[in-house]
Structure 1
Amino acid sequence: MVFDAPPATASHSWMPSSPCGPACIEPIDEIGTARTLARLAGVIGLVLSFPVLTAATPKARREHMQRRYARTALRCLGLRLRIVDHRHEPVDGFAAPDTGVLVVAGHIGWADVLALAAVQPVGFVARADMVDWPVLGTLAKLTRVIPIERARLRELPGVVDRIARRLADGQRVAVFPEGTTWCGRAYGSLRPALFQAAIDTATPVQPVRLRYLDGDGNPCTVPAFVGTDTFGDSARRVLRSKGMTVEIVLEPRQWPGTDRRDLARRCADAVRGTDPSRHGLLDTEWIAAGSTRVQDPSVGERGPIRRTVMATRW
């Protein structure tokens, strides 16, 4: 298993990239070593027991078991869960059983997967090397992750087709259309490509506003998986941190229509609201992240951020 899997770096001009790096991570209160080890032991125990529990649970009860499992995993990591539902529908989770829905959220770190699964079990589109990670790799295989090689643009139509087949089959699939992780204080544009699966199958889209908060209710960057981070670096930060909450806000569903760029814009408005996109290091620098690529501010001197235009067709 690979412990040192850093966030992917750009290998072609259309590949999504993020300016976020180590300097974005703002420390918060930490727990002691004994409690950290207890959390780790709890997570390992859950991972080892998950295949057994899944096999032993009747199919009719399996979704309920998996949702409880994800919520327990969040507690073991020290993360409280808060779900806010802005929809005006009596739906428990993202959708009724056997109803296809494309779940769309911004991407901050690996804990996003557990947070969304705690609302309702879903399949995920995730980076292909995730199956080799410790802990999450096992879960990825069991939850039938759809792998995506972001460095191989030619594989993108095949990924869209696989998502569409699952949606047509009445399954729930979660995607992170930014294509990479951001720190939680700034964010990237929602790339339109994966939205085509919803259009092709006339499947509704569920926008989700996801964020992490510290003990005072302020946005927290500790769970971010950015820059030169390895999985081990990020996991240690989360396990040691105190008083964090992951907040999931379910916004009204969007019907796909016929234009994937319009659908992406509508979902971005729902997911982002009126929040500005600000990079956490320089308070005076505001980033229009939709079509902008910026130098990682943790590299070199804290001079002006260099901007270069980055296309958004991915």
Structure 2
Amino acid sequence: MSCWTVASPCTVRCAAHRVPPVATGVRARRYAALAGALLRGLASGPRLASGEVLRTQAKGVIRALGATLEAPASVSGPRRRPGEAGSLIVSDHISWLDALALLAVEPATALAKREVAQWPLFGPLAERAGVQFIDRDRIRTLPDTVAQVAAVLRAGRSVLVFPQGTTWCTESGSGFRRALFQAAVDAEAPVRPVTVSYRQCGEPSTVAAFLGEDTFAASLHRVISARDLAVRVTPHPALHPARDRRALAAAAHTAIRGTGAPAHP
């Protein structure tokens, strides 16, 4: 157990199709489209970490999966002036698809658990996109991680984090871990809470959830098989960085909750 470790009651049984899956032929076409989208992303090389390229490639992967992205043009609001800090974008955490949806809207430096680097194709793609990998089992790395995030924010780039520390089957989830909010305090950067939610045929769905002992391959297959899946990104008003990290974490979680998510099964 470490400072990053959070227990969730959600298991793979929570992830379920709300409507019948698509036909085998549709799945096959989606897998082919996904392979093409990922290879195009890899072919972008170092350019993938640049804002517009990252946004375009993330949208392409979501389309290839057969999902629809419902999101505003930006989650950080008006364009920052030179010298202003970036935003600490904090979101609930349901799926590996969360990060893709958010990066398709707001190119940022994302933090992810180190295991993501080992995922086929997605891992190398994440590295080229500038994702920073966290070793959640080493508590001694936490101060350095906070300092690195603060430095990125001071440089004017936004940082995407999932402070719940694990995935849940709905938006409500658990409270937020406070450590990374210190980076926003240190950098005097705004905190932007964002809700990511999933719908099938317009109704709340847990099909995209990546939980417990689930494997990435099984979760990917479930998402590709999902009928009429939509990923909804809902930004909330920015929180002022003058607050202490405890207050920031509580306020961010309060903003994200209460979205009418399905109850935990």
Q: CA deviation at 1:29?
A: 2.2
The structure-2 alpha-carbon separation of the partners of 1:257 and 1:246, relative to structure 1 and needing over 3 Å to count, comes to same
Q: CA deviation at 1:205?
A: 1.1
Q: CA deviation at 1:70?
A: 1.1
How many corresponding residue pairs?
Answer: 263
Q: What TM-score results when the alignment is normalised by the length of structure 1?
A: 0.77
Segments of 5+ residues of structure 1 without an aligned counterpart are 1-10, 282-314
2:24 counterpart of 1:33: yes
Amino acid across the alignment from 1:79: A
| Cα distance in 1, alignment partners of residues 42 and 82 from structure 2 | 22
> Which position in structure 1 is the counterpart of 2:103?
117
2:31 counterpart of 1:43: no
Cα deviations across residues 219-269 of structure 1 (Å, max 9, x unaligned)? 111111101100011000001111010000111111111410001111112
Contact 1:109 1:181 in 2 (8 A): yes
| Cα distance in 2, alignment partners of residues 241 and 276 from structure 1 | 21
Other structure's SS at 2:44 match? helix
> Which position in structure 2 is the counterpart of 1:146?
132
Higher helix share: 2
| Cα distance in 2, alignment partners of residues 40 and 140 from structure 1 | 19
Amino acid across the alignment from 1:241: A
The structure-2 alpha-carbon separation of the partners of 1:158 and 1:51, relative to structure 1 and needing over 3 Å to count, comes to same
2:67 counterpart of 1:79: yes
2:241 counterpart of 1:256: yes
Counterparts of residues 207-222 of structure 1 (less than 5 Å): 207-215=193-201, 217-222=202-207
> Which position in structure 2 is the counterpart of 1:198?
184
Structure with the greater alpha carbon radius of gyration: 1
Contact 1:192 1:261 in 2 (8 A): yes
Amino acid across the alignment from 1:203: A
The structure-2 alpha-carbon separation of the partners of 1:55 and 1:163, relative to structure 1 and needing over 3 Å to count, comes to closer
| Cα distance in 2, alignment partners of residues 224 and 201 from structure 1 | 33
The structure-2 alpha-carbon separation of the partners of 1:278 and 1:193, relative to structure 1 and needing over 3 Å to count, comes to farther
| Cα distance in 1, alignment partners of residues 76 and 128 from structure 2 | 33
Contact 2:2 2:136 in 1 (8 A): no
Cα deviations across residues 54-113 of structure 1 (Å, max 9, x unaligned)? 5579x9xx422321221121111111011158989545xxx6788511110000010111
Other structure's SS at 2:21 match? coil
State the identity as a percent.
35
2:169 counterpart of 1:183: yes
Other structure's SS at 2:203 match? coil
The structure-2 alpha-carbon separation of the partners of 1:97 and 1:245, relative to structure 1 and needing over 3 Å to count, comes to farther
Segments of 5+ residues of structure 2 without an aligned counterpart are none
Considering only aligned residues, what root-mean-square deviation do their CA atoms show, in Å?
Answer: 2.5
Cα deviations across residues 8-57 of structure 1 (Å, max 9, x unaligned)? xxx34872111100221222321111211211111111211223335579
Q: What TM-score results when the alignment is normalised by the length of structure 2?
A: 0.90
Amino acid across the alignment from 2:59: R
Counterparts of residues 45-60 of structure 1 (less than 5 Å): 45-54=36-45
The structure-2 alpha-carbon separation of the partners of 1:127 and 1:275, relative to structure 1 and needing over 3 Å to count, comes to same
> Which position in structure 2 is the counterpart of 1:286?
none
